Structures are given as structure tokens and as C-alpha cells.
Structure 1
Amino acid sequence: MYKVLIIDDDKSTRYLLKRFKKWEAHGFIIKDEAADGKEALRKLKAFPFDLIITDIEMPGLNGIEFLQELKSMKKQACVIFLSTHSNFEYAKQGIRLGVFDYMVKPFDDHSLGETLARVKAYLDKEYLQRTKKLYYFRESERKLAACLLSGSDPDHGLLESIFVETAEMLENNLYKTGILLNTMLANLREKIYAANPWLEKIEDDMLAYDLTQAQSISELKQKFQVCLNALLEIIKKYELHQPGSIIRRTCAYVVNHVEQDITLKMIAVEVHFSKDYIGKLFKRKTGYNFNEYVTKIKMEHAKHLIRSGAFKNYEVSEKLGYSKPDYFSRLFKKYTGYTPAEFKKIL
């Protein structure tokens, strides 16, 4: 049901509109009413309406002034003016400002029904257009995810279409465009995590971004591209685009066996390559020495165990395969800057 706001200082007019019996049959429901334009603007800030039926001559803020305020607020709503023959010139001015239609007082049920039928046809068409645009936007997101997961640089044409689709949906509102693109990046990140569940334990802060801070569309595009490059770099770093890659299998094995005493020899048995080859390849691809990587994963898991509050420090040390709690504490402080006890206090 499309939601309706009625604005008129005349109670009898508001009553006549509310007593119309076929609102729902036409696809509408009256959600609220206001006695003047200022009251209506307050209600519009709190709740969105699809259709606004407003008188033209009202105290404080007339219909034309209300419409101007509505446009400055960038509120999307279909507006119908109620007018008398004496203020027909106002009605024509309103149409120039974007009013959908006007009705002359006094009106009858038949003329109101005809007007609502035209409004519904218009709103239905607008809804379908928005839905279609959203579909194409989601389809572009799917293509972008497939591109990243294959380890390929995003196609320039695809990126441009994303910006065009986003701008059209949000009427070039830069802040809202930033919000929508933030959401797309978050969805892309979740798709990568879904395909590689172990990755979240390593790259839990895969993206640090806020595109709503961009001051121009060119800056927004630049930041979006930087974020995509960061995602692609991670995919290539761990060879996520290669399902059977040694790096991917090694990383997954370490994360999934974090509470064991992991060695290169164990990995060699798992992936069927020599430990020397794996060690050199791992360093070259990820930038980590294998033992450094194992320590990183163990320290991240230690943070998780400490946050849970279920284990004492020596129990965390034992679970991670460190026989000496003091040695574990030194490793943890080197990695986090805090001893386990200090880390627990800052949670």
C-alpha cells in the first residue's frame, strides 16, 4: 500500500478525504494528516510518504512554499494540490514546480478515484524502474565479485556502469552513493570470506574505508578503486583464485589446526611438496616467513581465547602448544603490544 499524508487547515476537507471508502482498493492507505505546511514538514522528517495531498492556501506556509521546502529536503513523493477556482493560478505554478496533479474543491468520490488511479499508475511505474535499476546494480555486484575471485582486474566498463547505476538510483546524492558503495564493498568482502572461511581469522580488517567522506565523484571513484585493489591484492597474496594452490591450502591448514604444533613437515605431507620448496614459495608469495605466519595465527587465536574469558593465561598457552607461559606472554606482547593480562583489562 502506498502511504498518504493529508495537509489542510480545514478539518471538514480532511474529513471528506478520510471518509472516502476506496483508498485501499486503489492501493493507498492514509498514514497521517497535518493542519498546515510546517506541521507536515516535521512529520515528513520522521516518516516517508508516497503521496501528499495538500491545500494551497494555508496559514504560515502555503502550498507553493511547502512544495519548495519539500524539494529542498529532496523528499521523493507524489504531490496533489487542492485548490478552488479562485487560486487556479497557484495550481498552475505548482505544476511547474513538479506537482503531479490538482483537484478543485469541492471534489467528489468519482474525481478523487480517477486521480488516485493516475497516481497509482505513476507510482507503480516509478517502483518498477527503481527495482530494475536495483537488479542491474546487484548484477554488477555479482560480476565484480566473480572478477575479483578469479584474480582479474575489474573491467573499466563494469566500474563505470556501477557508478552510473548508483548515481541514477540516488539522484546523484554523493553521500548516499558513498553509503551504497560501502555496502557493495562489504558484500564483496563477505563473499570472499564465504569462499574462504579461514581468511577472516587472518584478514579480519580486510577493508578500512568510508566512502561517505568523499568530497566529489572523482574522489569517490578513486577511493572505490583503491578498496577494490586492496581486495584483489589479498586474493592474489593467498592465491585464492587458484583452488588447488599450495599457498591457499597451507594457510587453510594452519588456521584449521591452530591449536596444534604446526611444522613445515606437516604441511609438506598435506600438499605433497618438499618443506624447503613450500617455505621459499610461502615467503615469496605472502611476504611472511612460515614460522612468522604460524605465530601470527596463534596470536590472533590467543586474542579470541582471552576475549572469551573462559581460560586462564597458562591454559591459553597450553592450548596453543606453548609449554612455557612466560614464552607465550613474550610472543603475545611482541605481537599486540600488551601482555595477556593487560590485554584482558582493555577489553
Structure 2
Amino acid sequence: MFKVMVVDDMEVMRRQIKRLPLWGEGTGFSIVDEAEDGQEALYKLQRQPVDLLITDIKMPRINGIELLKEAHENQLATCVVFLSEHSEFNFAKEAIQYGIFDYLVKPVKAEELKTLLQKVKNYIEEREQAQIQLKKLEDKLMEKIEVYYPTSYLNSIVQYVCEGNKEAIKTIGAMVDDTAAALGHDIVKTAIVLEKAYNEILIGVKDKHGWIEEFVDINFFADTNLTHYSDIDSIKKKLIEMLEAIISIITKFILYSGKSPLIKEICIYVMGNVENNISITTISEALFLTKNHIGDIFKQETGMTVGEYITMVKIERAKQLVAEGTFKSYEIAEKLGYSNVEYFAKLFKKNTGLTPMEFKHELKKTDIS
């Protein structure tokens, strides 16, 4: 049975749709939930996604367009259909951008909805068959991944990325071109092989720089979905964007120096101990070097003092902890070794321009928009 949610701020409209004699075994569709606005719908969809979302456009708090965008980006509904009046079709362009499936004009007529349900059913079944075929093709190609990319080749790219070396970008571009040529420029096959290769690179980077998951949501980088692209250039652009972003993160935290390998050692130590009490003293003891030597060479090579670097790293970790929403501000302060919560809040604001609470509020606004 296909699951349906109906969203409209007018109860009479929701009731009218629910009373239509189309729900159940006859069509294979069942209304499992309803909501009176987009915010309530989004809350419920995050807990139970549906196959078909039928929603009004003009609603308080979160409107139909915003709900469509969230449903599309977070895979909360396979098909989204707008309930609209003729005067509302000026929303069409933005709706198409976020993958609207169809429209129903109020009040909903039984015959029109019946036709729509059949279209939705056909679409979902065809989509499922396509996914089955794609999985079979993927399994077949995965058996041959070593043919395309020996482990040593992928390891060299991992090394470039981990060192913040832009040679990784040139190499990944060549990888895309070589793969496409080897597979006769078949987009789907090329996407499958490259996605597997990219995931191997990502695993390699995480193995070498385990700290990275403490500062960014690594799932963002794992979600490439290359099979969604329709041409080789788009696949290449996506992979390059991903690697550039990863390199940017690594070079932000690991301050490489052409003159002294000690800089990297200091950075790695700080990253690995971000939730401990760290200072130039603890670093000097760990590396068996004097504080003066460490302080002088670090400042000379990076332009930052060791203390400034430690603060930067701790605040970046704090930002990630705030974003995750698991801990309160005082718990984050304690977790990062700050016994004085007010001092931590001032330090956070000095470095971000916002208090931890303001930062969290801004993140929520960004998520909604």
C-alpha cells in the first residue's frame, strides 16, 4: 500500500479529500497522516516519509514551496502534488526546480485524483525497477573496480588530498576522463565506477585524518549520488568540488610548512587532543622540545601563535558540537577544557561574532530556508 499525507490549513479541504472513495485496496493508496501546515508536515515526514505528499501552497509558517524543497532534498516524499487555485500557478517555475510531480485544482474531483494516483503508481513502480537494474549493474561493475583503479592509484590520490596538494584535483579530473573513455562514455556505468572510487578515497582520507569527523559532517561528503547526473562534465565538476572542499578543510587545520615538519606534528597533536586541556606546555612535553623552540618556529612558519591556533581549533570543534545539538553550552565548554563558561562564551563570540545560542539559532534559520 502506497502511503499518502494530505497537508492543508483548511480542515474542510483535508476532509473533502479523505472522503473521496479512492483510498484503499482499489487504488493501492492509503492516507496515513495529515497536517494543517508545512511545519507540522515536515515534523511528521521526518519520522515517517511517504510515497505521495498532497499539499496546499499557501500556508502559515512553512508554505508548500518550502515543504517541497525540504521533501525533495531530504527524500521525505517520492512524489509531491500541489493543491492549488488557478491564480497560484505563478509558483510553477520554482516548484519545477524542486521536482514537483503534478498539480490538483481545488476542490479536488474524484476522477482527476484517480488519474493522478495511477500516474504516481506507474512512476513509483518504474522507479523501483530502474533502481533494481541499477543495483545489478553496480554489483557487476564493482567486481571489476580493481581493473579500473588499482589500490596503489587510489592511495596516491588519498596522499595528495591528505597533504592538501592540489595535484589531487588534476588527478581526479584525469580519472573521470579515463573512466568515461574506458566505458564508452556510458554515463551510468561511469558514474557507478567513479562513485565507488571516490568513496574509497574518502575512506582513505578518514583513515589518515580521523580528526576530520570532529569538525565537519562527513556524511555531506559521502553523499555524491553521481548517477543523478546526465553528463560527464557534471560528474567531473561534482567530484572536483568535493575534493576541493575536503582539501580546504585539511589545509585549514593542518598548517603545512615547506621548511619544518614540526608544524604538522604540532597541528596533529592539537587536533587529536582538542577535547583535552592543551597548551604549549603539554605540546612541548609530548614532543620532547622546549616551549620557546615550539613557539618561535610555529609563529615564524604560520604567522599564528600556538595559543591562537589552539583557540581556533577548539572554537571550530565547538561550532560542530553546537550544530549537532546534543550538548548545552556549559557542557561544550567543559568538554573542551574551559572551566569558566562565561569566558568560553566570550571567546566563542570573539571568534564567530555570535554567542553559542545565537550561532545555533542562525543554523536553524539556514536549515529552514
Smaller-chain TM-score bracket: 0.3 to 0.5
Which structure's CA Rg is the greater one? 1
What TM-score, normalized by structure 2, do the two folds share? 0.45
What TM-score, normalized by structure 1, do the two folds share? 0.48
